[in-house]
Amino acid sequence: MKPLDVLQQSLHKRVLVETKGGRSFRGVLEAVDQHLNLVLTGADEVVEDVTTPHTGLTLVRGDSVVYISP
Amino acid sequence: MKPLDVLQQSLHKRVLVETKGGRSFRGVLEAVDQHLNLVLTGADEVVEDVTTPHTGLTLVRGDSVVYISP
Amino acid sequence: MKPLDVLQQSLHKRVLVETKGGRSFRGVLEAVDQHLNLVLTGADEVVEDVTTPHTGLTLVRGDSVVYISP
Amino acid sequence: MKPLDVLQQSLHKRVLVETKGGRSFRGVLEAVDQHLNLVLTGADEVVEDVTTPHTGLTLVRGDSVVYISP
Amino acid sequence: MKPLDVLQQSLHKRVLVETKGGRSFRGVLEAVDQHLNLVLTGADEVVEDVTTPHTGLTLVRGDSVVYISP
Amino acid sequence: MKPLDVLQQSLHKRVLVETKGGRSFRGVLEAVDQHLNLVLTGADEVVEDVTTPHTGLTLVRGDSVVYISP
Amino acid sequence: MKPLDVLQQSLHKRVLVETKGGRSFRGVLEAVDQHLNLVLTGADEVVEDVTTPHTGLTLVRGDSVVYISP
């Protein structure tokens, strides 16, 4: 099984996305491609313990991603 | 549905584009390609709480992008 | 024998994954691809001696990886 | 319309090019390719409020570019 | 003769691998590919004069490598 | 006209090459390829106002280049 | 003439290789490929004015290279 196939199990579920530079997102994973570009809905963005809620969808660029976890 | 297809829904709408190095843009998304190169119109650029309005169009290089949000 | 073939021997075994930026993970390696994208289960994330346990699976992006060790 | 096609509208016009590392250029855009390699003429280079005029043409490497704006 | 062919002469011999970020490894080179992904056995990892011995194999990601030396 | 074609006009002429990390070179441009790998002859290297003359040719790796100017 | 062809003239001659991060090497260039991966023999490594002689061959990863000079 390939890593990106495993990620399909997390579609439509809430995930934590840690990105480079100390920024993380928690939201529902709605789409992902082979570059790890991600679409989240209802995401909360966290930078240094400050949480900013996003409305609608958030597209996170794949090469900013460090890890994705449920 | 692929992440970049989802982004088509944001065409001609106002988006927030966060880039590496603490620079962000708010403007109307007029064009995007598979590298996440973006064209915004009427963009405001924000660096450390200082806002600079851009006239006309702004092309943001895709590999500078961290996330895009409405 | 190729390096990524050697890594197949570590599948379903506990490994240490050191990533850029001083973050490491210890967990069971469940999947890996040619970019070194990895899926771990039951991972503990360690940043500056603070350990955070992850539930379920963790996908680590390959280009964040510095080394993998059992 | 693709982002790089939009940029064709700025050919032979004065643009601002912001690059990584806090360096920017203002000059007339004479050529651009798909990597965002750019040729400017009559460019002024600005680093930390110090302006250095360039004579002739300046080729800016595409992967240094953050954004281009008129 | 190509650089990566030269490296074949170091297979099954002890090498020093210097990586980005001030981390180095000394171990026996068991496998290498065209990206310079490396497998070492019996490696000692050195960061700021602190040596950590690894058991079993260590896979070092090629794009972390600065140089390899016997 | 493509940016790299424009650069052909600077062959065998003295150019300034600014690279990442605050290092620049002034020398005669003798060769260039599509990656912006450059060969200079008679180059002076400048780092923080200290000039080091090079004898013979200097090959500058393209991905270190920020801009090239006559 | 292409930059990498020019480099063939330096084969089996002593060169200076400056890499990212303030590390340089002086040694005899024995092999080079299109990525600028290099093999040096009898190299001296210099970091902050401290010289470390290498025995045998040293493979320097191409993407660490800033410039090569005789």
For B12-58, how does the pLDDT look when each residue is reduced to its tens digit (9 = 90+)? 999 999 999 899 999 999 999 999 999 999 999 999 999 999 998 99
Q: Read off the pLDDT band of G12 (50, 70, 90).
A: very high
Q: What is the dihedral of CA E63, C19, E57, G32, to 10 degrees?
A: 10
Residue D59's pLDDT is: 97
Q: Is the CB of C6 less than 8 angstroms away from the CB of E37?
A: no
CA-to-CA distance for D12 and F19, rounded, in angstroms?
26
Residue C69's pLDDT is: 94
Residue G1's pLDDT is: 79
Residue D1's pLDDT is: 80
Give ipTM to 2 decimals.
Answer: 0.90
Contacts across the B-D interface (CB distance below 8 Å): 54
pTM of the predicted model, to two decimals?
A: 0.91
Q: Is the CB of E59 less than 8 angstroms away from the CB of C70?
A: no
CATH number at residue C62: 2.30.30.100
Length in residues, chain C: 70
Q: Is the CB of E3 less than 8 angstroms away from the CB of G33?
A: yes
F8 Cβ contact partners less than 8 Å away, ≥ 6 residues apart: F32
Query: G51 is written with which tokens?
Result: 């010289």
Residue of D nearest to F68 (CA): D59
| Most C-contacting residue of A8, A13, A16, A18 (CB-CB within 10 A), to test interface | A18
Q: Is the CB of G5 less than 8 angstroms away from the CB of F60?
A: no
A48 Cβ contact partners less than 8 Å away, ≥ 6 residues apart: A22
How far is D2 from chain B, CA to nearest CA, in Å? 6
CA-to-CA distance for D32 and E37, rounded, in angstroms?
35
Per-residue pLDDT averaged across G19-36, rounded? 95
Q: Is F41 exposed, middle or buried (CB count within 10 Å of its CB: 0-12, 13-18, 19+)?
A: middle
Q: How many CA atoms lie within 13 A of A4 on its CB side?
A: 16
The residue written with tokens 């990212």 in the block is G20
Q: Read off the pLDDT band of B1 (50, 70, 90).
A: confident
How far is A1 from chain B, CA to nearest CA, in Å? 21
Per-residue pLDDT averaged across E59-66, rounded? 96
Q: Is the CB of C31 less than 8 angstroms away from the CB of A3?
A: yes
Residue A26's pLDDT is: 97
Domain boundaries, position A36:
3-69
Per-residue pLDDT averaged across G43-61, rounded? 95
Total tally of structural domains belonging to chain A: 1
Q: Read off the pLDDT band of G47 (50, 70, 90).
A: very high
Q: Is the CB of B3 less than 8 angstroms away from the CB of A54?
A: no
Residue E13's pLDDT is: 96
Residue A21's pLDDT is: 87
* Sequential DSSP letters for chain E: --HHHHHHTTTTSEEEEEETTTEEEEEEEEEE-TT--EEEEEEEEEETTEEEEPPSEEEEPGGGEEEEE-
Residue F70's pLDDT is: 82
Residues 17-56 of chain B with CB under 8 A from chain D are 19, 21, 23, 25, 30-33, 37-39, 43, 45, 54-56
pLDDT of residue F17 exceeding 90: yes
